Each structure stands twice: as C-alpha cells, then as structure tokens.
Structure 1
Amino acid sequence: MNILAISGSLRPTSTNTALLRALADQAPDNVAVTLYNDLDELPHFSPERDHANTSEPVHRLRTLIRHADAVIICTPEYIHGIPGVLKNMLDWLASSGEFVGKSVGVISASPSDTGGSRAHASLSYTLSVLTADLPKGASLIVPFVRRRLDADGRVTDPVLVQELRNVLDALTNASKRYVSE
C-alpha cells in the first residue's frame, strides 16, 4: 500500500512535517509512506492555467495522488485557516478529480491549545467538497505540538506516537476496503 503524505508547511523544521515523518516510521513493512516535498513548486492557481498542458509540478502532483492508495495531509493553522500554499494545491486538484473517493487522513498541529482545530475543520470541509473519503479515525488534532517533540523534531510523547499509529491504521484499513470494493 502506498500513502502520499503532504505537509502544509514549507519550513524545513516544520512540526507538521515532523509528524508525518513520525507517522511514516510507524508504518508496517507492507505500507510505504512517501513525503511530498514540492508544495512550493506549484504555480499560483488560476482556472485559465488549468488545461491539458498544465505545468510539470501540477502534473507530477496529480500523478502522485492518482497512484497513491491513500493520502494524509498535516497542516498548521495560519490566521484561523489552512496555509495559502496548501489551499493553492487543493485548487489545482478541484477540476481533475484525484480526491474523488480517495481515502484521506487529516492532521492539524499547533503550538496552541487548539491544535489548529480551525484549519483542521477548514481542510476537512474542503476535502469533503472534493469528495474525498475521510475515514473515521484517520483524523487528529495535535495541541501543544512543540512540547511533544524533541529539538530534532522526533516525537517524544508516547501518547502522540499511539495517536499517529491509530490514524495510520484507520487510513490503511479504509484504503484496503476501498481498493477491494
């Protein structure tokens, strides 16, 4: 099983990216988690640019999602919503249908006590509009994220490790059902 992991943060030391790496570390041998690192290469979306000859970064993104059995997105919260670069990515995927029926997990993380809950709600809503399958249990809000990682970005909180494992399990179980149907 192949899972594409997308961080909504461009920072090299992003806690959101660190959570996706930790989730990948929890994956069983039969599950490959690939971290998408090209979010900042996507051009600004405009419907006039969305045609058969889209740019290479857009084509590559669409292909990666199309070939993934599932996707997991981890987002920070900016101004009570998702980052612009993540929204831009979702805009590029609206007309091409890669998320239709695709199992997608949603994680938000923040240094605040809300854990990015508003960004989580916004991302979940947008994915539902794109008709993604948002499996029960494949969702997580992580408050006080910096307290739960060490200086190198490794998850040190055993509860968070288990929560990430639970998200991964829910996502893989839902994806297996979807693939077999």
Structure 2
Amino acid sequence: MKKFMALCGSNHRNSQNQKLLLDLKQSLSTNHTFQIYNNIYDFPIFHSNIEYEDYPTIIKNFMNDIEQSDHIVIATPEYIKGVPAALKNALEWLVASAVLYDKPVSFIVNSPHGEACYQSLLKHLKILNPQMQEEGMLLISGKDRLRNEDGTFCSLKTQTEVAEFLAFLEKK
C-alpha cells in the first residue's frame, strides 16, 4: 500500500486542479491512500532566519506529513507566468530540510497556458532533490484542459495523458 500526499496550487476549493486531484484519488486502486493537503494557504511566509525548533506547528506538521508519505503529487495552475506564491512558499519551507530528498514527486500543471509554471516548478523541485521521472510530469494547457459536463476531459489526448499519469502512480 502506497501513501500519497497531494498539494493543490490553487486556493479555490472547487478549482480545476482540486477536481483533478479528486479524480486521481477516486481513480487510484484501493491499495493506496491519497490525502489532499489543503493547508498551504495558511502557512506564514517563509524566512531563512528561523531555526527548525522555532518553525510554526503547521510547518512541522506539514513536514511530518511529507515524511510519512510515499509519494507527493502536485496539481497547480500557472499564476503570472510562474508557480503560485503559496505553493512556492510551501516548497521554500522545505529547503533547509531533507524531507523531499529522494522522495518520489509527480506534478501536473493544469492551466490555460502553463509552460512557464511547468519549467519554474521543475526548477524549484530540483533544488529539493526528489525522485522525478518524465512519466510523472504533465502539462495540460489550452483547449486540452476543457472538460465535458460529466467531468471527463474533452480532449482524447488529455484523457490518455491523465490515464498514463495515473498508471505511473499505480506502478511507482
């Protein structure tokens, strides 16, 4: 049994990225658990002058949840050509720790544009030295992110890519 922890870069509870994480959670086999962590928008702004013992409880709990997870999954939109501030802030809190070191991390950038966020997120994550594989990185942008009334993606290409992403999570 694998324990996933998912982070959503959007603060809207009903966002497309939140729905995407819920879709992944519902589609994964029952052999796994999939916790969607929605507290990153409550984090204080990171500053490097603080020692670990003085970290706020919410940050220590976040790090502990990451440590207890087998795989981290991120779904995020692009905000002004980059990673949303709250998600970047959450990653910055992890810089002085080793909680993501060698831990599997996968991500989906799901946004009208998205390429700048995809590259930026990749760059930020590489600093934290997790395990990342091409099959675990997905960009869904433009008309490919549109959904039908039943919630399925309109684009067959996107349906296939999300199914492959899910298969990667299942086997990883």
TM-score (norm 2): 0.89
Letter in 2 for 1:12: R
What is the percentage of aligned positions where both structures have the same residue?
A: 27
| Residue from 123, 128, 131 that aligns with 2:129 | 131
Aligned equivalents of 1:150, 1:37: Cα separation in 2: 26
Aligned equivalents of 1:165, 1:26: Cα separation in 2: 9
The runs of at least 4 aligned residues of structure 1 exceeding 6 Å deviation read none
8 Å contact from structure 1 (residues 78, 119) kept in 2: yes
Shift of 1:12: 1.9
The residue aligned with 2:105 is 104
Alignment of 1:20-169 (within 5 A): 20-111=21-112, 114=113, 116-144=114-142, 148-150=146-148, 154-157=151-154, 159=156, 160-169=158-167
SS at match of 1:16: helix
Aligned equivalents of 2:118, 2:100: Cα separation in 1: 17
Letter in 1 for 2:89: N
Residue by residue, what CA displacement relative to the aligned partner does 1:93-144 show, whole Å, maximum 9, x if unpaired? 0111111001110110112xx3x11101111111111101112201111113
Aligned equivalents of 1:149, 1:50: Cα separation in 2: 45
Aligned equivalents of 1:150, 1:84: Cα separation in 2: 30
Greater RCO (Cα-Cα under 8 Å, separation 6 or more): 1
Residue by residue, what CA displacement relative to the aligned partner does 1:5-45 show, whole Å, maximum 9, x if unpaired? 10111012211111111111110110111101101111110
Aligned equivalents of 1:144, 1:23: Cα separation in 2: 21
8 Å contact from structure 1 (residues 135, 170) kept in 2: no
Letter in 2 for 1:164: V
Query: In angstroms, what is the RMSD of aligned CA positions?
Result: 2.0
Q: 1:84 to 1:166 in 2, by over 3 A?
A: same
8 Å contact from structure 2 (residues 148, 154) kept in 1: no
Letter in 1 for 2:118: H
8 Å contact from structure 1 (residues 22, 155) kept in 2: no
Shift of 1:54: 1.3
| Structure 2 residue runs without a partner (length 5+) | none
Q: 1:36 to 1:145 in 2, by over 3 A?
A: farther
| Structure 1 residue runs without a partner (length 5+) | 175-181
Aligned length: 170
Residue by residue, what CA displacement relative to the aligned partner does 1:57-99 show, whole Å, maximum 9, x if unpaired? 1011101111110001111111110011111000000111111
